[in-house]
A and B are shown apart, each in its own frame.
Chain A
Amino acid sequence: DSGVTQTPKHLITATGQRVTLRCSPRSGDLSVYWYQQSLDQGLQFLIQYYNGEERAKGNILERFSAQQFPDLHSELNLSSLELGDSALYFCASSPSGQGAYHEQYFGPGTRLTVT
Chain B
Amino acid sequence: ELKVEQNPLFLSMQEGKNYTIYCNYSTTSDRLYWYRQDPGKSLESLFVLLSNGAVKQEGRLMASLDTKARLSTLHITAAVHDLSATYFCAGDSNYQLIWGAGTKLIIKP
A positions within 8 Å CB-CB of B: 2, 31, 33, 42-43, 45, 48, 50, 55-56, 58, 88, 90, 92, 96, 101-109
Contact = CB atoms under 8 A, between A and B. Distances in A.
B98 to A, nearest CB: 8
A56 B99 contact: no
A48 B95 contact: yes
Contacts of A55: 95-96
Nearest to A105: B45
Contacts of A43: 43, 88, 99, 102
Given A101-B92, A103-B48, 12 more contacts: A42-B88, A42-B99, A42-B102, A43-B88, A43-B99, A58-B96, A90-B42, A92-B43, A101-B50, A103-B33, A104-B45, A106-B43
A56 B96 contact: yes
B3 interface: no
A105 B43 CA distance: 8
A109 B88 CA distance: 17
B95 A31 contact: yes
Interface residues of B, number: 22
Nearest to A103: B48
A104 B95 contact: no
A56 B42 contact: no
A102 B88 contact: no
B101 interface: yes
6 contacts: A2-B44, A43-B43, A56-B96, A103-B45, A106-B44, A108-B41
B94 interface: yes
Contacts of A2: 42, 44
Given A90-B43, A107-B42, A109-B42, A45 B95 contact: no
Contacts of B45: 103-105
User: What are the 10 closest A-B residue pairs judged by CB atoms, nearest first?
Assistant: A106-B43, A106-B42, A42-B101, A43-B99, A56-B96, A108-B42, A101-B31, A103-B48, A42-B102, A109-B42
A45 B94 CA distance: 13
Nearest to B102: A42
